Structure 1
Amino acid sequence: MSQERKRGFEVIQAYQAQNIELPQRATTHAAGYDIAAAEDVVLPSFYKQIFKHVALELKQWIHGSGQDTSRATEAEILQPTLVPTGLKAYMQEDEYLQIVNRSSNPLKRRLMLPNGFGVIDADYYNNPSNEGHIYVQLINFGLSDYTIRKGDRIAQGIFVPFLLIDGDEGGQAVRSGGFGSSDDNNHLQEEA
């Protein structure tokens, strides 16, 4: 008798030969599965980016130069870094994978998830855009750039059930896009 798959992690095709380890719980009673970076990523210092932006603005103001189109925009300065994990997750239709920060990240590394926690929906798994590749958004609020190395534990994943309201008919669209696709209606397609 074969056992039905309920929830778990898999390595996406693009990272099959990269020695990606599947997430594990660190202790017997741990709720979260430790998720590691799939490659080295430099996280720019948030404060360093702001300082550079202010310095450029001040320099322009002092010298009275025209508008410099090479300056960083506010969105670029405040942009979190997407750290690839090489993973995808499968789960039941009434569950989602919650991506939460490791407790040591803010204290020891000065790293945080800008959105508090991430939500990976069941229909993100194997989507045609990116196979359901899980990325972790991080901001470095330290004073210097921080390099995450491949294999560094950067977040935890917790599988969570959710409830529906009375009369819920669900979204009428089917996910066809990847990261943040529900923000972009071009990636949602009506079911036939």
Structure 2
Amino acid sequence: MPKRGFAVVSKYANDGLKLPVRSTKNAAGYDFFAREDFVLKSIWRYDFIRLFRLIRNEHPLTDNDFQRASDVLRPQLVPTGIKVFMQPDEVFVLANRSSNPLKRGLILPNGIGVVDADYYNNPDNEGEIFFQLVNLGPRTKVIKKGERIGQGIFMPFLTADGDQGGLQQRNGGFGSTGK
């Protein structure tokens, strides 16, 4: 088996998905493409604006007000249909495209995404890579299938002396190590 690379998640094998590529000879990051057309709503929708108005007018806020605003602020997971494999001492770091915040108002709210080697072929989603994005722009954005949405970089990592490592086996997909 090769040391590191990409594959299409099996249920999307016939969808004509493009594997990540480096755009230039010296590019560190592999560009990822959207698996499907995806609607990324602006955070500046009614429930969020309503919360600001209530605060500004010093109205008491209810748990329902906070929940409705939180639902709007929640990042959306843009699917790629791609999985990544690597060596056990490597990590795949997901990063935003440098043009996304400036030109499109799209950010990765966590700064970077960390994909561990054991995420590949997990039982929940076969290791599909998703990009968490938040649309800070005033309008809804439609990301088209095949459009570049982010990039990923393979990196080695070091462990501390005496590290026992997590002795558990991964048993899920996205966010499963925090359960």
TM-score normalised over the length of structure 2: 0.90
Distance 1:36 1:26 in 2: 12
State the alpha-carbon separation in 1 of the partners of residues 95 and 64 from structure 2.
37
Structure 2 residue matching 1:14: 3-state secondary structure: helix
Is the CA contact (8 Å cut-off) linking 2:51 and 2:65 kept in structure 1? no
Secondary structure of the 1:159 match is strand
What corresponds to 2:83 in structure 1?
88
The match for 2:153 is: 158
| Equivalent in 163, 172, 175 of residue 177 of structure 1 | 172
Is 1:34 paired with 2:31?
A: yes
Q: Would the alpha carbon gap of residues 72 and 57 (structure 1) be closer, same or farther in structure 2, given more than 3 Å must change?
A: farther
1:43 aligns with 2:45: no
1:145 paired residue among 140, 144, 148: 140
Pairwise CA distance, 1:73: 2.8
Q: Is the 8 A contact 1:90 1:125 kept in 2?
A: yes
Q: Does 1:125 align with 2:120?
A: yes
What percentage of aligned pairs have identical amino acids?
Answer: 52
Root-mean-square deviation (CA, aligned residues, Å) is 2.2
Structure 1 outlier segments of 4+, above 3 Å: 52-58, 67-72
Question: What is the letter of the counterpart of residue 166 of structure 2?
Answer: G
Does the CA-based 8 Å contact 1:32-1:157 persist in structure 2?
A: yes
Greater Rg, structure 1 or structure 2? 1
Pairing 1:20–2:26 present? no
How big is each residue's C-alpha offset from its partner over 1:108-131, in whole Å with a ceiling of 9 and x where there is no partner?
A: 111010000000000000011110
Separation in 2, partners of 1:135, 1:141: 19
Q: Secondary structure of 1:174's match?
A: coil
The answer to whether the 8 A contact 2:45-2:72 is kept is no
In structure 2, give the amino acid aligned to 1:24: V
1:109 matched residue in structure 2: 104
Q: Secondary structure in 2 aligned to 1:76?
A: helix
Q: Contact 2:95–2:113 (CA<8 Å) still a contact in 1? A: yes
Tell me the TM-score normalised to structure 1 length: 0.84
Q: Which runs of 5+ in 1 are unaligned?
A: 62-66, 185-192
Task: Give, in angstroms, the shift of residue 74 of structure 1.
Answer: 3.8
SS in 1 for 2:45: helix
Equivalent position to 1:11, from 8, 12, 21 = 8
Instruction: Show CA shifts across 1:4-52 (max 9, x none).
Output: 4100010001211111010110000000000011011111111225215
Worse overlay, 78-87 or 42-51? 42-51
